[in-house]
Amino acid sequence: MEPIIKVEHLNKIFSSGTGEVVAADDISFSIDKGDIFGIIGLSGAGKSTLVRCLNLLERPTSGSIFIGKNNLLELSERELRMERRKIGMIFQHFNLLMQRNVLDNVCFPLEIAGMKKKEARERASKLLKTVGLKEKAKAYPAQLSGGQKQRVAIARVLAANPEILLCDEATSALDPQTTKSILSLLKDINEKYGITIVVITHEMSVVREICSHVAVLEEGKLVESGTVDEVFDSPKTEAARKLILNAGIQNK
């Protein structure tokens, strides 16, 4: 089976007045369709940069990023826009539109895509049901808990029918119990819709809970990757050992 995401020799160098930072250093890996793939590492290891490169929010300095057969770096603007529709993203701080109620937040991408208002509302209502927030359709983001806000963000991202969902520290602002409920929702979505999920996190418990595979980043390099069981049960590198042992959760 061809991987849904294939990264080859990815480099990202940030230049500033004070010098250069190599945030991604010759990174290569691939993700199969339907996987839940975790990317872990200490703060500053390059996790955010890597995940932002996967949809070209950040443009790599060099390398290739294949989504299916298409190398994103070789597409025209128009082709890239089409390809990006396959990739949704959720964030630590939810990024909801504060002036719009919950239903209208979920309708937003559908309206942008040109769907008729009535149809968009029907679809958004269904998605709110999927994420367990039907009764909050008329509420505004400020009236919701963190977990509820992330559910709205998930419904909104699902509205565009993505094949891939990127999660950048999506549970890092949530308490442990809410984190569990959001992870369980992500797992349901993965199973129900076959959406491939990429999870960036500094929380090892998140990886243990939902990921099938994991990659370890250290100073911009991918130092280890494999199934979660392989990496957590017998980490090969010092970087992986430290992350896993410090979290104290190597055994399920």
What are the residues binding ligand ADP (CB under 6 A)? 14, 16, 21, 23, 41, 43-49
Our CB check for ligand ADP shows the closer of 25 and 104 to be: 25
CB of 119 to ligand ADP, least distance (A): 38
Taking the C-alpha atoms of residue 86 and residue 66, their distance in angstroms, rounded to an integer, is 13
CB of 237 to ligand ADP, least distance (A): 16
Nearest to residue 67, comparing CAs of 8, 110, 26, 23?
A: 8
Our CB check for ligand ADP shows the closer of 95 and 234 to be: 95
Largest Cα separation within the chain, whole Å, is 55
CB of 133 to ligand ADP, least distance (A): 29
CB of 91 to ligand ADP, least distance (A): 12
Our CB check for ligand ADP shows the closer of 23 and 164 to be: 23
Answer whether 49's CB lies under 8 Å from 41's CB. Answer: no
Our CB check for ligand ADP shows the closer of 2 and 238 to be: 238
SS3 52: helix
CB of 21 to ligand ADP, least distance (A): 5
- The residues, ordered by sequence, that sit 6+ positions from 144 with a Cβ below 8 Å of its Cβ are 102, 136, 152
Our CB check for ligand ADP shows the closer of 70 and 205 to be: 205
Nearest to residue 74, comparing CAs of 87, 85, 60, 88?
A: 60
CB of 235 to ligand ADP, least distance (A): 18
Our CB check for ligand ADP shows the closer of 44 and 146 to be: 44
Our CB check for ligand ADP shows the closer of 41 and 235 to be: 41
Token pair recorded at residue 184: 């369980």
CB of 252 to ligand ADP, least distance (A): 25
Nearest to residue 208, comparing CAs of 188, 230, 193, 192?
A: 230
142-151 own/partner pairs: CB under 8 Å, 24+ apart = 142/98, 144/102, 145/178, 146/94, 146/173, 146/174, 146/175, 146/178, 147/174, 147/178, 147/181, 147/182, 149/94, 149/96, 150/90, 150/94, 150/174, 150/182, 151/182, 151/185
